[in-house]
Amino acid sequence: MANFLKSLVGNKKAERVSEPETGNEERQEIISYVKKEYERRMRLRKPFELQWLENINFYEGNQYIAKETQMGKLYETAPVFYYEERQVYNQIAPIVETRLAKLSRMKNLLKTRTPANADADSAKKATLGNKILAGTQDMIEFTRKQERANNWMEITGTGVYKTFWDETKGNIIGVQNENKIYDEEDLESFEEELAEEGRLPLTRNIREGFPNTVVVSPFEIFPENPYKPYNKNRSIMHVKVATVDELYEKYGIIDKGADHNVLSLSHSMFPVGNVGNKSYSYNIHRDLRQDTVILYELFELPSRRYPAGRWIICTDNKLVHFSPLPDYLKGEGNYFLPFDFQKSINKLDYFFGDSIISRLIPLQRSYNTIKNRKREYINRVAIGVLVATSNSLQDDEDLEEEGIAPGRIIYYTQGAEKPHFLEVSNFPNGLENEETKLLEDFARLSGISELSKQSVVPSGIDSGVAIGALAEQDDTRIGIVAESIKMALESIGKKWLYAYKNKVDYPRFIKYFGEDDTTDIVVFKGEDLNSFDVVIESVNEISETLAQRKAFIIQMLNGGFFNDPDTGSISKEGRAKILEMLEMGDWENFDNSDTLQLDRAKRENAIMMKGGEVKIKNIDDDVVHMAEHIKMMLSVDYEDMIAQNPVVDRIANIHINEHMNSMAQKTTASLGATQGSQQEQPKQNQNNQQRN
């Protein structure tokens, strides 16, 4: 075991080393190259970053800002007059939240496609890939990460995933201390030796490792050229700010910290709000973070000079890692970069996508302006503007500060013109029409109508067909985004399988959810994988609400689609399945006994698949149990299992026969009881006649 661990750590050392085997001068050249590349790429990416910051501010409600493209920064717009209404009527946030809610209804299941003309062994390995993908998704909590990527995508236009081999995952299989490897048997004696010497063990746990995927902020991604698509960029830099403690914890490198810019909030310079309720909002921008280092990570595809590519990690002062691309980024003889992207709006020939917010910002500015001008008009009507001759009012200073309260007496100079309120003209109809038109433009540009955003049918539309067409149009627009997400997830699933193929040399197990949400375990090695063609088996719920699905199931129910062809009625198993499809769960304990019978039959299936014998009980519903057992015996997993262990088939057949015998006995007993009752009835009638 110790020799195996040494070889395992030796492979890991080739991938991540604290002191690369290069001279000090060469290290400084590498660091200098990486820093110059970062500065060049940062200048190229600056216009995209400004747009992202503007998008974030408008989404958060900080909408009195603008871009200064030449200076490369955002600035806050000042009010023209002190009395201006500067309320924010945020239409962008609900639009984005509605789009995110629609995307959250997608349930993407990663599957491996079985190779064409595959034999039984190849088909089995493809099924193995499905289980591994399902287990990996659950292990790394990928659904939550996908929601975070969707948020970045909708706000900035691009959601970024990074896939890598995570050495902190999996079971502990050994310990490394002072460049020595110890397995579990030797560890105890080693700790005793250190205790006798008065030293503490500075150990590092060696784990199995698993592929992991994290969501990366687009602010941390620097492509070679942002004005070229992803497949035209030969290298990508991932740059982030880390504390000195994080650097030491992950890489064992000690470096001096400094102040670096990070995204943060600051108070706005000018107040927002309405008359009598002015306050200061927050703006999102870059701020200094103390005692940190910039961590640069460069991935470069193979070239003539570097046939296996390059993987460089460094800070401003330290070279953390320098090597070819890791083997988990290799599949079918070719290397690939560890990043995947999903885009809200795909801009041709651009690395980053665009956000729907960018299109809505001009509308939002106009909408805020019109709503605030309406508020100012209402203020003029409600509060009024007093007109008086100069020096005619005796308490003009008090009037300016306190206004005209109801019942107040106004004193003016005798002979002067009587003070009066300025007559306010009617509010222009054109502004009302402009507000309505802006709301229509919001729906047109965002693809989210009032029906989706507010669950309100637009005025003037009362036709069911028109309402359905409007809902379908909303779903079609966001369906383009869903397709981008699918492509990203398929690529991520392929990276997971390649990582397992290249890194797992000994039996490994993963928990996964099988059919009927039962937990199971799959044991495999990298060589067992043969299919890397990952596709999405998508349960697309974007265009299907729960009410629509229930209505469809009820239509099928009325049409007899769930009826048993032999009996013409719905089976007990079918009733439980219908309740599950309607998402009613154990509604009012309806048919609870049937559900319990099914659950027990499934538990028996799991025991028999592992070679365990199961005895029937008198309380078993033989019909329900037999149907569930036969379903198991017809599955591909069952065929694979009996090919490895024929005993399973014998156990299952014996169990089925026991149920058949039990059902026959119960039927005979029921017939006997019925006949006895029929024979007893004439005797009772005769006795009654004799008594009479």
- Residues 165, 498: Cα–Cα separation, whole Å: 11
Segment 471-529, tens digit of pLDDT? 555 566 687 888 899 999 999 999 999 999 999 888 888 887 765 556 677 788 888 88
pLDDT of amino acid 12: 41
Mean pLDDT for the stretch of residues 653-663: 89
Asked if pLDDT for residue 8 goes beyond 50, the answer is no
pLDDT of amino acid 246: 86
Segment 398-457, tens digit of pLDDT? 777 667 777 777 778 787 888 878 777 787 888 788 888 998 888 888 877 655 555 555
pLDDT of amino acid 194: 59
pLDDT of amino acid 267: 47
- Residues 422, 679: Cα–Cα separation, whole Å: 107
pLDDT of amino acid 104: 83
Please report, for the chain, the start and end positions of each structural domain, with discontinuous segments joined by +.
172-207, 381-423, 546-685
Segment 268-280, tens digit of pLDDT? 555 554 544 544 4
Asked if pLDDT for residue 337 goes beyond 80, the answer is yes
Instruction: Count CA within 13 A, CB hemisphere, residue 198.
Output: 0
Looking at per-residue pLDDT, the higher value among 16 and 72 belongs to 72
Segment 178-237, tens digit of pLDDT? 555 555 556 566 666 656 655 555 566 778 889 999 999 999 999 999 999 999 999 999
Cβ(244)–Cβ(255) below 8 Å? yes
pLDDT of amino acid 197: 58
Segment 79-128, tens digit of pLDDT? 888 778 888 999 999 899 888 888 887 777 888 877 666 566 666 667 78
Lowest mean pLDDT among 38-42, 90-94, 378-382, 649-653: 378-382
47 vs 54, 73, 229, CA distance in Å? Answer: 11, 9, 16
Nearest to 159 by CA among 73, 242, 247, 99: 99
Report the predicted TM-score, pTM, of the whole model to 2 decimal places.
0.73
Asked if pLDDT for residue 162 goes beyond 50, the answer is yes
Nearest to 343 by CA among 219, 230, 452: 230
- Residues 78, 70: Cα–Cα separation, whole Å: 20
Tell me, letter by letter, the H, E, C secondary structure of 14-71. HHCCCCCCCCHHHHHHHHHHHHHHHHHHHHHHHHHHHHHHHHHHHHHCCCCEEEECCC
Confidence of residue 161 (pLDDT cuts 50, 70, 90): very high
Residue with tokens 């058949």: 660
pLDDT of amino acid 9: 45
Mean pLDDT for the stretch of residues 134-151: 90
pLDDT of amino acid 90: 92
State the DSSP H helix or E strand holding residue 162, giving kind and residue range, or none if neither.
strand 158-166
Share the mean pLDDT of the chain: 78
Residue 317 DSSP class:
S
